[in-house]
Amino acid sequence: MGVDITVLVVDWARLARVPAEERLRVVQEAAYGDDDADIDGDVVDGWVWPAAAERSWLGRYEFRGTLGSYKPHFWAAQGWEKVRGAAGGEMRAALDEFLEGLIWWGPQADVDAEQVDPGVFPSLEGLWRSGPVIVCGPQTVARLWDRWRVAEPGLEKLRVPYGELAGREPGQWIEGFDEFAELVHGWAEVVGEAERRGWGVIGLPI
Protein backbone atom coordinates (compact mmCIF):
# COMPACT_ATOMS: atom_id res chain seq x y z
CA MET A 1 0.00 0.00 0.00
CA GLY A 2 1.35 3.42 -0.98
CA VAL A 3 1.51 6.63 0.99
CA ASP A 4 -1.81 8.49 1.16
CA ILE A 5 -2.91 11.94 2.24
CA THR A 6 -6.30 13.31 3.28
CA VAL A 7 -6.53 17.10 2.91
CA LEU A 8 -8.94 19.04 5.11
CA VAL A 9 -9.95 22.61 5.78
CA VAL A 10 -10.67 22.99 9.49
CA ASP A 11 -12.38 25.56 11.70
CA TRP A 12 -9.39 26.55 13.83
CA ALA A 13 -11.48 28.11 16.59
CA ARG A 14 -13.46 24.88 16.93
CA LEU A 15 -10.29 22.81 16.92
CA ALA A 16 -8.77 25.02 19.61
CA ARG A 17 -11.63 24.08 21.95
CA VAL A 18 -10.59 20.42 21.79
CA PRO A 19 -7.97 19.47 24.43
CA ALA A 20 -4.60 19.46 22.70
CA GLU A 21 -3.87 15.81 23.45
CA GLU A 22 -7.17 14.77 21.83
CA ARG A 23 -7.02 16.88 18.66
CA LEU A 24 -5.23 14.40 16.41
CA ARG A 25 -7.68 11.63 17.25
CA VAL A 26 -10.68 13.92 16.83
CA VAL A 27 -9.54 15.18 13.42
CA GLN A 28 -8.78 11.69 12.15
CA GLU A 29 -12.15 10.36 13.28
CA ALA A 30 -14.02 13.36 11.86
CA ALA A 31 -12.28 13.25 8.48
CA TYR A 32 -14.50 10.43 7.21
CA GLY A 33 -17.98 9.20 8.07
CA ASP A 34 -20.88 7.18 6.74
CA ASP A 35 -22.55 10.28 5.34
CA ASP A 36 -19.56 10.79 3.00
CA ALA A 37 -20.04 7.46 1.25
CA ASP A 38 -21.19 7.45 -2.35
CA ILE A 39 -23.79 4.72 -2.63
CA ASP A 40 -22.96 4.21 -6.30
CA GLY A 41 -19.28 3.70 -5.50
CA ASP A 42 -18.19 6.61 -7.68
CA VAL A 43 -14.96 8.41 -6.85
CA VAL A 44 -15.66 11.94 -5.64
CA ASP A 45 -13.49 14.80 -6.89
CA GLY A 46 -13.44 18.19 -5.23
CA TRP A 47 -15.13 19.11 -1.94
CA VAL A 48 -16.84 16.68 0.40
CA TRP A 49 -18.77 18.51 3.14
CA PRO A 50 -20.03 16.25 5.94
CA ALA A 51 -23.78 16.34 6.41
CA ALA A 52 -23.63 15.57 10.12
CA ALA A 53 -23.87 18.73 12.21
CA GLU A 54 -21.21 17.53 14.63
CA ARG A 55 -18.72 17.36 11.75
CA SER A 56 -19.63 20.63 10.06
CA TRP A 57 -16.39 22.21 11.27
CA LEU A 58 -14.31 20.64 8.51
CA GLY A 59 -14.39 19.80 4.82
CA ARG A 60 -12.38 17.32 2.77
CA TYR A 61 -10.86 18.02 -0.63
CA GLU A 62 -10.33 15.17 -3.09
CA PHE A 63 -7.73 15.93 -5.76
CA ARG A 64 -8.92 14.71 -9.16
CA GLY A 65 -7.32 11.51 -10.36
CA THR A 66 -5.14 10.95 -7.29
CA LEU A 67 -7.33 8.41 -5.42
CA GLY A 68 -5.98 9.90 -2.19
CA SER A 69 -2.39 8.97 -3.01
CA TYR A 70 0.45 11.31 -2.07
CA LYS A 71 2.50 10.23 -5.10
CA PRO A 72 1.10 12.88 -7.49
CA HIS A 73 1.98 15.59 -4.97
CA PHE A 74 5.53 14.25 -4.72
CA TRP A 75 5.88 14.23 -8.51
CA ALA A 76 4.48 17.73 -8.78
CA ALA A 77 7.15 18.86 -6.32
CA GLN A 78 9.75 17.03 -8.42
CA GLY A 79 8.48 18.85 -11.49
CA TRP A 80 8.73 22.21 -9.78
CA GLU A 81 12.26 21.38 -8.65
CA LYS A 82 13.28 20.83 -12.28
CA VAL A 83 11.48 23.78 -13.86
CA ARG A 84 11.72 26.51 -11.24
CA GLY A 85 14.93 27.90 -12.74
CA ALA A 86 12.93 28.84 -15.84
CA ALA A 87 10.40 30.86 -13.84
CA GLY A 88 10.63 34.61 -13.40
CA GLY A 89 12.20 35.82 -10.18
CA GLU A 90 9.06 37.15 -8.46
CA MET A 91 6.91 34.25 -9.66
CA ARG A 92 9.56 31.71 -8.66
CA ALA A 93 9.89 33.15 -5.16
CA ALA A 94 6.11 33.19 -4.70
CA LEU A 95 5.53 29.64 -5.95
CA ASP A 96 8.56 28.48 -3.95
CA GLU A 97 6.92 29.72 -0.77
CA PHE A 98 3.46 28.42 -1.71
CA LEU A 99 4.64 24.90 -2.51
CA GLU A 100 7.20 24.82 0.29
CA GLY A 101 4.38 25.38 2.76
CA LEU A 102 2.49 22.38 1.39
CA ILE A 103 4.33 19.71 -0.62
CA TRP A 104 7.80 20.84 -1.70
CA TRP A 105 10.95 20.14 0.31
CA GLY A 106 12.45 23.56 -0.37
CA PRO A 107 15.37 25.04 -2.31
CA GLN A 108 18.16 24.12 0.10
CA ALA A 109 19.78 20.75 -0.43
CA ASP A 110 19.53 18.34 2.52
CA VAL A 111 17.11 20.63 4.38
CA ASP A 112 13.48 19.54 4.43
CA ALA A 113 10.81 22.22 4.56
CA GLU A 114 8.68 22.30 7.71
CA GLN A 115 5.01 22.04 6.79
CA VAL A 116 3.63 21.75 10.33
CA ASP A 117 2.76 24.84 12.36
CA PRO A 118 3.93 24.22 15.94
CA GLY A 119 1.61 23.86 18.91
CA VAL A 120 -1.45 22.43 17.18
CA PHE A 121 -0.76 18.79 17.90
CA PRO A 122 1.51 18.18 20.90
CA SER A 123 2.46 14.80 19.44
CA LEU A 124 1.99 12.95 16.16
CA GLU A 125 2.40 9.57 17.80
CA GLY A 126 -1.32 8.92 17.41
CA LEU A 127 -1.24 8.96 13.60
CA TRP A 128 -3.21 6.08 12.14
CA ARG A 129 -0.62 5.71 9.41
CA SER A 130 2.87 7.04 8.81
CA GLY A 131 3.26 9.56 6.03
CA PRO A 132 3.21 13.26 5.17
CA VAL A 133 1.65 15.72 7.59
CA ILE A 134 0.57 19.29 6.80
CA VAL A 135 -0.70 21.66 9.49
CA CYS A 136 -1.28 25.29 8.47
CA GLY A 137 -3.13 27.65 10.78
CA PRO A 138 -5.08 30.67 9.50
CA GLN A 139 -2.05 32.98 9.55
CA THR A 140 -0.01 30.53 7.48
CA VAL A 141 -2.98 30.04 5.15
CA ALA A 142 -3.27 33.81 4.61
CA ARG A 143 0.42 34.01 3.75
CA LEU A 144 0.21 31.10 1.32
CA TRP A 145 -2.86 32.58 -0.36
CA ASP A 146 -1.01 35.86 -0.84
CA ARG A 147 1.91 33.98 -2.41
CA TRP A 148 -0.42 32.09 -4.73
CA ARG A 149 -2.04 35.31 -6.00
CA VAL A 150 1.43 36.53 -6.99
CA ALA A 151 2.46 33.22 -8.60
CA GLU A 152 -0.72 32.26 -10.46
CA PRO A 153 -0.57 34.81 -13.34
CA GLY A 154 2.84 33.45 -14.39
CA LEU A 155 2.04 29.75 -14.15
CA GLU A 156 1.05 29.31 -17.81
CA LYS A 157 4.45 30.62 -18.90
CA LEU A 158 5.96 27.38 -17.55
CA ARG A 159 4.15 25.20 -20.10
CA VAL A 160 6.99 24.97 -22.62
CA PRO A 161 9.91 24.75 -20.16
CA TYR A 162 8.00 22.15 -18.14
CA GLY A 163 7.75 19.94 -21.20
CA GLU A 164 11.45 20.37 -21.88
CA LEU A 165 12.80 20.03 -18.34
CA ALA A 166 10.35 17.86 -16.43
CA GLY A 167 9.55 15.10 -18.90
CA ARG A 168 7.87 11.88 -17.90
CA GLU A 169 9.87 9.28 -15.96
CA PRO A 170 8.87 5.65 -15.24
CA GLY A 171 6.35 5.58 -12.37
CA GLN A 172 5.73 9.31 -12.54
CA TRP A 173 2.10 10.33 -11.84
CA ILE A 174 2.38 13.84 -13.29
CA GLU A 175 2.75 13.37 -17.05
CA GLY A 176 3.13 16.97 -18.10
CA PHE A 177 2.33 20.60 -17.49
CA ASP A 178 -1.46 20.20 -17.54
CA GLU A 179 -1.38 17.63 -14.73
CA PHE A 180 1.11 19.75 -12.78
CA ALA A 181 -1.01 22.89 -13.15
CA GLU A 182 -4.21 21.04 -12.23
CA LEU A 183 -2.73 19.70 -9.00
CA VAL A 184 -1.23 23.06 -8.04
CA HIS A 185 -4.58 24.72 -8.73
CA GLY A 186 -6.16 22.11 -6.47
CA TRP A 187 -3.94 23.26 -3.64
CA ALA A 188 -4.89 26.85 -4.45
CA GLU A 189 -8.56 25.82 -4.16
CA VAL A 190 -7.86 24.32 -0.72
CA VAL A 191 -5.88 27.31 0.54
CA GLY A 192 -8.36 29.78 -0.94
CA GLU A 193 -11.35 28.10 0.70
CA ALA A 194 -9.58 28.03 4.06
CA GLU A 195 -8.55 31.68 3.71
CA ARG A 196 -12.10 32.72 2.82
CA ARG A 197 -13.45 31.06 5.95
CA GLY A 198 -10.57 32.05 8.24
CA TRP A 199 -9.84 28.35 8.77
CA GLY A 200 -6.69 26.24 8.65
CA VAL A 201 -5.48 23.37 6.45
CA ILE A 202 -4.55 19.90 7.69
CA GLY A 203 -3.20 17.00 5.65
CA LEU A 204 -2.89 13.58 7.27
CA PRO A 205 -1.97 10.11 5.95
CA ILE A 206 -5.40 8.57 6.46
User: Looking at the domain assignment, is residue 104 inside a domain?
Assistant: yes
Residue 189 lies in a domain: yes
Is 160 a member of any domain? Answer: yes
Does 195 have pLDDT greater than 90?
A: yes
Average pLDDT over residues 129-152: 96
How much is the average pLDDT of 142-148? 98
DSSP 8-state symbol, 102: T
Whether this model's pTM surpasses 0.85:
yes
Beta bridge partners of 8: 60, 202
Q: 150 or 52, which is more confident? A: 150
Beta bridge partners of 48: 60
Binned at pLDDT 50, 70 and 90, residue 32 comes out as confident
> What domain range includes position 185?
6-204
Average pLDDT, the chain: 90
Compute how many other C-beta atoms are within 10 angstroms of the C-beta atom of residue 37: 10
| 58 within 8 A of 50, measured Cβ to Cβ | yes
Tell the burial category of 61 from Cβ atoms under 10 Å away from its Cβ (0-12, 13-18, 19+). buried
Per cent of the chain over pLDDT 90 is 75
**Residue 1 located in a structural domain:** no
- How many structural domains comprise the chain? 1
- Cβ proximity of 112 and 120 under 8 Å: no
